[in-house]
């Protein structure tokens, strides 16, 4: 958390090495996903995928209908909206985070109407899943979160 998702390469290796490993591993998984009729989703989640450029580097190297993106609204360092704009055209699922009661590591005040507009502009037809990360009990936080998402995406 202190380094906002930035991970240094392993000693003796470079980020280029790591990107090639990721690409090669995903390419090995894709035939199995296709056979099962499952679209794999690459998430913006620290390390090589902390920034949209890293995520897009992997995604663009593979270019398969069996690979999409799981865009997590809470996993952006810095301005989330400009980064979300870059990834929205490739999103197959969106994880919408809420933080009622304050988050464990951080709390974001996300504008879901703005996020929904970005998705609509990009022709998004996938699922939006709720990921409630706040400390408020689920019994009260989940209904509030669903209300926010239904108002934004409904």
Q: Which helix (H) or strand (E) holds 131?
A: strand 127-132
C-alpha to C-alpha distance for 33 and 41, rounded to whole angstroms? 11
Domain chopping of the chain, boundaries: 15-153
CATH classification (class only), 15-153: alpha beta
- pLDDT tens for 74-102 read 999 889 999 999 999 999 999 999 999 99
Its pTM stands at 0.92
């Amino acid at each position: 958390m202190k380094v906002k998702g930035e991970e240094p390469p392993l000693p003796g290796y470079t980020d280029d090495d790591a990107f090639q490993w990721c690409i090669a591993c995903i390419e090995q998984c894709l035939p199995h996903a296709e056979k099962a009729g499952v679209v794999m989703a690459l998430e913006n989640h620290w390390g090589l995928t902390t920034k949209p450029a890293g995520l897009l580097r992997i995604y663009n190297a593979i270019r398969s209908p069996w690979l999409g993106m799981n865009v997590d609204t809470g996993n952006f360092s810095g301005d989330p909206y400009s980064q979300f704009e870059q990834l929205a055209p490739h999103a197959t699922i969106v994880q919408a985070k809420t933080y009622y009661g304050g988050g464990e590591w951080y709390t974001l005040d996300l504008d879901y109407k703005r996020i929904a507009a970005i998705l609509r502009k990009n022709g998004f037809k996938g699922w939006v899943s709720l990921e409630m990360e706040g400390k408020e009990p689920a019994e009260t936080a989940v209904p509030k979160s669903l209300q926010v998402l239904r108002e934004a995406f409904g």
